[in-house]
């Protein structure tokens, strides 16, 4: 006996809950008595009693020789059933869960040399001195409860100055969000409904794919080349269908590292005007050039107000900060603020610390330092990648951003290589994560910014060993 209730009622209640909630699907088998008894560390009699009660209630049935199964629900349960579980989760459950898979890398392999995550790593954060701003901002917290829904006014003012774009002249045009992912979620929820078409580069950032798919959008992929999205293909698409929005990462694209040329940017804007197609420009990597500065943002070339601009501090400082922003024309920013209100506001402490960081002019020198660091780190990774050339492995040196997009010859299977390397203590991301459909993708993505130089060197040697062992 547990408490005053017999133990079997606990087992009975648990199973009944699982059946009625749909966790155990109709027709699915129940574990054999002995196995369940062992698993729950109770006697077999307890299980028999629980099963007998469930059977008497018509929730399960037994089939001679093959065990017990969940019954199609009896009218008493069946009539008012709403199936809300299945309904609520249907699009979410069918979309791949790459974000969770990626974030779990360090849980599964805590000591891994991490080329999988897309961030600046601990050393970026340390050299930024940002924690001092967090500490001093924490002391002001007593006077702040929530910031305004749209975001801390001072932070928005600094962002207007920092972006320095004719089109964004007022803090009223900025909405602070919990990372740019929330910004994209809000924008997409305003512009499109389930079933609507969303155009995007392919491959592309899996967080955006997961979001569109989970919201029930249909993704229209546009191929890319080294000049960015293929505008000729896009033109053909727009002549045939009416997408609700276009999402692009034109600068140091994730995962390819490619940057849209100035002429394509202009062509894209012309098409957007012609078809009144809103463009969501995700500019997460703009300030992380390794060589010269990139072409101007689409937003700064925008003459019709069709571009909705998205950026984040995740790549400039660290992703756990969860502060990003949207810049758009005033009416859209207002609508977005109404939508943002549904999740109240973005965290106060992060915004206060960022406002102080920008007020003190700390961002510019920080970026100069990290660009130099990343340049060195990229060079080390490239040096190793060059040695893989005889194996048929190819890459292009990115002009900025965080990644090497590495193509593999046919005989090297990306997922297998990833699993073999993970076992040896190195993780990276497989190319298929960046596609909207399940398909083999002979690419891997290596992030060169997360680990320090020595670790990059060690990790690349391990990949080299794995590749050599394969060959033998």
Ligand X SMILES: Cc1ncc(COP(=O)(O)O)c(C=O)c1O
Least distance in angstroms from the C-beta of 233 to ligand X: 21
Residues contacting residue 41 through CB under 8 Å, at least 6 positions apart:
none
Phi, psi of 205, deg, nearest 5: -55, 125
Least distance in angstroms from the C-beta of 216 to ligand X: 21
Q: Which stretch binds ligand X (CB under 6 A): 23-31, 311-319, 349-357, 379-387?
A: 311-319
* Neighbour-count burial of 78, counting CB atoms closer than 10 A to its CB (0-12 exposed, 13-18 middle, 19+ buried): exposed
180 touching ligand X, by CB under 6 A: yes
> Cβ closer to ligand X: 19 or 176?
176
> Cβ closer to ligand X: 282 or 302?
282
254 touching ligand X, by CB under 6 A: yes
Q: Which of 281, 291, 194, 277 is CA-nearest to residue 238? A: 277
For 299: left if phi > 0, alpha if psi spans -120 to 50, otherwise beta; the answer is alpha
Q: Candidates 96, 121, 203, 207: give the one binding ligand X (CB under 6 A).
A: 207
Least distance in angstroms from the C-beta of 255 to ligand X: 8
319 touching ligand X, by CB under 6 A: yes
Least distance in angstroms from the C-beta of 468 to ligand X: 31
Q: Candidates 114, 213, 259, 314: give the one binding ligand X (CB under 6 A).
A: 314
Least distance in angstroms from the C-beta of 221 to ligand X: 16
> Cβ closer to ligand X: 388 or 403?
403
Chain CA centroid to CA 359, Å: 30
Strands 426-427 and 113-114: parallel
118 touching ligand X, by CB under 6 A: yes
Written as one string, the DSSP assignment of 338-396 is HHHGGG----HHHHHHHHHHHHTT-HHHHHHHHHHHHHHHHHHHHHHHHHTGGGT-EE-
Written as one string, the DSSP assignment of 243-286 is -SEEEE--SS-TTT-----HHHHHHHHHHHHHHT--EEEE-TTT
433 touching ligand X, by CB under 6 A: no
> Cβ closer to ligand X: 112 or 248?
248
455 touching ligand X, by CB under 6 A: no
Least distance in angstroms from the C-beta of 249 to ligand X: 4
Q: How far is CA 444 from CA 139, 204, 412, 463, in A?
A: 44, 13, 11, 12
The answer to whether residues 272 and 279 touch, using CB atoms and an 8 Å cutoff, is: yes
174 touching ligand X, by CB under 6 A: no
186 touching ligand X, by CB under 6 A: no
The answer to whether residues 172 and 159 touch, using CB atoms and an 8 Å cutoff, is: no
> Cβ closer to ligand X: 119 or 420?
119
147 touching ligand X, by CB under 6 A: no
The answer to whether residues 198 and 248 touch, using CB atoms and an 8 Å cutoff, is: no
Residues contacting ligand X: total by CB under 6 A? 14
Least distance in angstroms from the C-beta of 72 to ligand X: 43
The answer to whether residues 213 and 188 touch, using CB atoms and an 8 Å cutoff, is: no
Q: Which helix (DSSP H) or strand (DSSP E) does residue 446 occupy?
A: strand 443-447
> Cβ closer to ligand X: 171 or 312?
312
Q: Candidates 130, 133, 205, 247: give the one binding ligand X (CB under 6 A).
A: 205
Q: Candidates 324, 398, 431, 459: give the one binding ligand X (CB under 6 A).
A: 324
The residues of the shown chain that bind ligand X, judged by CB under 6 A, are: 118, 179-181, 205, 207, 249, 254, 282, 284, 312, 314, 319, 324
């Amino acid at each position: 006996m547990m408490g005053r209730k017999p133990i079997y009622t606990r087992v009975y209640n648990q199973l009944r809950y699982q059946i009625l909630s749909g966790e155990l699907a109709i027709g699915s088998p129940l574990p054999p008595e002995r196995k369940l008894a062992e698993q729950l560390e109770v006697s077999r009699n307890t299980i028999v009693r629980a099963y007998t009660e469930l059977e008497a209630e018509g929730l399960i049935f037994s089939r001679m020789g093959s065990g017990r199964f969940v019954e199609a629900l009896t009218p008493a349960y069946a009539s008012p059933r709403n199936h809300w579980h299945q309904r609520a989760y249907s699009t979410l459950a069918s979309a791949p869960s790459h974000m969770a898979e990626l974030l779990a890398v360090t849980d599964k392999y805590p000591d891994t040399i991490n080329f999988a995550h897309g961030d600046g790593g601990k050393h970026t954060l340390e050299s930024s001195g940002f924690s001092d701003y967090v500490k001093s901002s924490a002391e002001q917290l007593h006077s702040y409860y929530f910031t305004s829904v749209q975001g801390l006014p001072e932070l928005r003012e600094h962002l207007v100055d920092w972006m320095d774009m004719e089109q964004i002249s007022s803090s009223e045009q900025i909405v602070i969000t919990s990372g740019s992912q929330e910004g994209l979620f809000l924008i997409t929820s305003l512009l499109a409904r389930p079933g609507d078409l969303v155009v995007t580069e392919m491959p592309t950032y899996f967080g955006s794919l997961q979001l569109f798919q989970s919201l029930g959008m249909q993704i229209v992929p546009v191929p890319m080349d080294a000049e960015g999205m293929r505008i000729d293909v896009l033109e053909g698409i727009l002549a045939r269908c009416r997408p609700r929005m276009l999402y692009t990462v034109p600068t140091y694209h994730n995962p390819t590292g490619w940057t849209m040329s100035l002429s394509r940017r202009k062509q894209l804007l012309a098409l957007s005007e012609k078809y009144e197609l809103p463009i969501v420009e995700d500019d997460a990597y703009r300030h992380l050039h390794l060589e010269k500065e990139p072409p101007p943002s689409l937003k700064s070339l925008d003459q019709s107000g069709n571009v909705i601009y998205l950026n984040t501090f995740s790549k400039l400082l660290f992703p756990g900060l969860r502060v990003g922003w949207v810049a758009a024309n005033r009416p859209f920013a207002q609508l977005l603020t109404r939508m943002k209100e549904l999740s109240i506001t973005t965290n106060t402490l992060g915004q206060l610390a960022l406002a102080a960081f920008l007020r003190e002019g700390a961002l510019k020198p920080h970026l100069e330092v990290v660009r130099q660091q990343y340049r060195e780190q990229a060079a080390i990774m490239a040096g190793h990648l060059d040695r893989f050339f005889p194996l048929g492995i190819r890459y292009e040196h990115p002009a900025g951003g965080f990644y090497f997009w590495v193509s593999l010859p046919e005989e090297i299977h990306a997922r297998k290589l990833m699993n073999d390397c993970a076992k040896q203590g190195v993780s990276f991301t497989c190319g298929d994560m960046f596609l909207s459909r399940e398909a083999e993708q002979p690419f891997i993505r290596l992030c060169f910014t997360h680990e320090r130089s020595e670790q990059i060197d060690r990790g690349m040697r391990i990949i080299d060993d794995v590749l050599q062992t394969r060959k033998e």
